[in-house]
Amino acid sequence: MIITLCGSTRFKDLFFTVAKELTLAGNIVLMPMVFHHADNDELTEEQKIRLDNLHKLKINMSDAIYVINYGGYIGKSTYGEIDWASKLNKQIFFLESAEQIPQEEKVETKEEAEE
């Protein structure tokens, strides 16, 4: 399986730990290679956009994403990646239970309410 790791780049060490585990289990792992939060790198807005677009391309190439939601943390960018993967019908796995992650509220249609 091809899996893209998603999550905050502040968890750099955890990305490499998870990548190692998934690789040893026989998966191909794609992940960010610029960890500007962990490394305190300053990025231009153009660089941030380029990195976001590259990450979406990695998700496109993948069968699944694996969300590194350490401590339950999922930032705005990661929510966008989850949404992107969901729209592409990719499998979504989480490091920690996803029960605390808010789901879109399902609006019940009139037909469903009558069933």
Share of the chain above pLDDT 90, in %: 58
| Average pLDDT of the segment spanning 92-103 | 68
Report the C-alpha gap between 77 and 54 in whole angstroms. 13
Residue 106 binned pLDDT confidence (cut-offs 50, 70, 90): very low
Comparison of pLDDT for 52 and 113, the residue scoring more: 52
Report the C-alpha gap between 77 and 59 in whole angstroms. 13
Does pTM top 0.75 for this prediction? yes
The three-state secondary structure class of 45 is: helix
Query: Which tokens go with 76?
Result: 């705005």
Residue 98 binned pLDDT confidence (cut-offs 50, 70, 90): low
| Average pLDDT of the segment spanning 79-96 | 94
**pLDDT of amino acid 104:** 42
Question: Does residue 112 surpass a pLDDT of 80?
Answer: no
Q: Please give the order of strands across the beta sheet that includes 64-68.
A: 28-30, 2-7, 64-68, 91-94
Report the C-alpha gap between 49 and 55 in whole angstroms. 10
Q: What integer best gives the mean pLDDT of the chain?
A: 84
Question: Does residue 101 surpass a pLDDT of 50?
Answer: no
Question: Does residue 109 surpass a pLDDT of 70?
Answer: no
Residue that the structure tokens 């990548």 belong to: 19
Residue 111 binned pLDDT confidence (cut-offs 50, 70, 90): very low
